[in-house]
Amino acid sequence: MSRMKHRFVEVSWRSAAKWAVALFLASGGATGLPAQGSAITVKPERQATTMQSKFYCSTKALNPTERVRHKQLTEKLAAKRKEIVETEKGYEFQFSPSDISLAELAEWVAAEGKCCPFFDFHIDVEHEGRLLCLRLTGEEGIKAFIRAEFKVDAVK
């Protein structure tokens, strides 16, 4: 797995632009589904871009059927997140189990891990099962990538 974390792919401007648009659409950005009750504090750090970083999406990791399902889950997660918490190494997205099931969260993580192997995923069930948490972490620069790709607003 460590080899997967250190694999880097150079992408052309056109390819990066296509994936930026695809990730924007898949994350619910085009549907105007902001996080509900987002409360985060973000420290200034340099902005990472998909074109000039080690963070990339593997275009062939999911077949067409898997991509459709992953897009549906991504849109649902974006619409149903209750809170976003900044952590030392990334962000935690919190959900109510009445809105998102543990199975849906695990399914999303399995697919996202195929196309974005640079993420470290952590799923927690807290407060006696009343809170589902998905923490995304990774190498240096991952926070800026998460902010850009998952529409996490920085607090100034």
Cβ atoms within 10 Å of 109's Cβ, excluding its own: 17
**Spatial distance between the Cα atoms of 22 and 12, rounded to a whole number of angstroms:** 15
In the three-class reduction of DSSP (H, G, I as helix; E, B as strand; rest coil), residue 148 is classed as helix
Q: Which among 88, 22, 7 is positioned nearest to 55, based on CA atoms? A: 7
H or E segment to which residue 86 belongs: strand 83-86
pLDDT tens-place string over residues 23-81 = 333 444 433 333 333 333 333 333 333 345 588 788 789 999 999 999 999 999 999 99
**Confidence at residue 53, expressed as pLDDT on a 0 to 100 scale:** 58
DSSP at 71: H
Answer for the pair 67, 114: CB distance below 8 angstroms, yes or no.
no
